[in-house]
């Protein structure tokens, strides 16, 4: 009798263990699937939040887009290319490196004040990148611009230093 009870007890214990391990396995499976789903959604969000230029990125030749898509007097930022494409009132293009010529912080375009501003030590630059307010010692550097088949190309692999803006720096379609 005692032996029979012990056998019953052992059988019950085995069954409990089996159920427990099945339950644990299910929990583990659900946990793993949830973690994968979170990673996938997070990865997708990061992809869409990433700032993008039309084509190309810093250090390469960036295709900024068709010349006619940039109105006269416009400033368009290309975060991946680290430059601003400026189109003067007479239609000339200039690609300004976003790096401040003082100590290298990134400038921002303030449309309401029509200036580039450096948040580090308050240098500012005019529409063509000339120094308006020091300590920046010289105009923002530029990148070579070419226009091929109506497309504006900016070579971000070769920055060009300059003291000031001159009219011959503008490139026309
Ligand atoms: S780095 Fe721009 S003002 Fe100093």
- Based on the fold, state whether residues 90 and 126 are members of the same structural domain: yes
- Residues with CB under 6 Å of ligand 1 are 100, 102-105, 118, 120-121, 123, 135-136
User: Can you give the pTM of this predicted structure?
Assistant: 0.70
CA distances in angstroms from 64 to 9, 21, 30, 61, listed in the order given: 77, 59, 46, 9
**Each residue of 61-88: pLDDT tens digit?**
999 999 999 999 999 999 999 999 999 9
Question: Rounded to the nearest whole angstrom, what is the distance from the C-alpha of residue 127 to the centroid of ligand 1?
Answer: 17
Average pLDDT, the chain: 80
- Based on the fold, state whether residues 76 and 111 are members of the same structural domain: yes
Which CATH number covers residue 115? 2.102.10.10
Domain that holds residue 18: 1-50
The pLDDT assigned to 51 comes to 39
Give, for ligand 1, the residue of 97, 102, 107 to mutate: max count of ligand atoms closer than 8 Å to Cβ.
Answer: 102
- Based on the fold, state whether residues 110 and 151 are members of the same structural domain: yes
Residue 8's CB is within 10 A of a number of other CB atoms, namely 10
- Based on the fold, state whether residues 100 and 78 are members of the same structural domain: yes
**Which residue, by CA, sits nearest to atom 1 of ligand 1?**
103
Give, for ligand 1, the residue of 118, 131, 137, 138 to mutate: max count of ligand atoms closer than 8 Å to Cβ.
Answer: 118
Q: Starting at the edge strand that comes first in sequence, how are the strands of the sheet with 124-125 ordered?
A: 108-110, 115-117, 124-125, 131-133
- Based on the fold, state whether residues 17 and 94 are members of the same structural domain: no
55 occurs within a structural domain:
no
The pLDDT assigned to 46 comes to 38
Domain count, the chain: 2
3-state helix, strand, coil in the chain (%, to 5): 35, 25, 40
**Each residue of 95-123: pLDDT tens digit?**
999 999 999 999 999 999 999 999 999 99
Question: Rounded to the nearest whole angstrom, what is the distance from the C-alpha of residue 100 to the centroid of ligand 1?
Answer: 6
The pLDDT assigned to 57 comes to 77
**Each residue of 35-64: pLDDT tens digit?**
333 334 343 333 333 334 456 678 999 999
Residue 165's CB is within 10 A of a number of other CB atoms, namely 21
56 occurs within a structural domain:
no
At residue 2, does pLDDT exceed 60? Answer: no
123 Cα nearest atom in ligand 1: 3
């Amino acid at each position: 009798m005692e032996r029979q009870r012990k056998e019953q007890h052992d059988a019950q214990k085995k069954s409990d263990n089996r159920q427990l391990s099945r339950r644990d396995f299910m929990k583990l499976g659900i946990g793993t699937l949830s973690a994968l789903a979170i990673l996938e959604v997070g990865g997708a969000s990061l992809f869409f939040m990433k700032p993008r230029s039309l084509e190309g990125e810093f250090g390469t030749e960036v295709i900024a887009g068709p010349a006619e898509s940039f109105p006269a007097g416009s400033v368009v930022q290309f975060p991946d290319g680290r430059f601003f494409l400026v189109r003067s009132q007479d239609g000339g293009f200039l690609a300004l490196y976003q790096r401040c010529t003082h100590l290298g912080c990134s400038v921002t375009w303030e449309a309401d004040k029509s200036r580039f501003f450096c948040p580090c030590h308050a240098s500012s630059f005019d529409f063509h990148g000339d120094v308006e307010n020091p300590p920046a010692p010289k105009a923002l550097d530029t990148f070579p611009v070419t226009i091929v088949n109506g497309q504006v190309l900016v070579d971000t692999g070769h920055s060009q230093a300059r003291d000031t803006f001159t009219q011959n720096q503008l490139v026309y379609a």
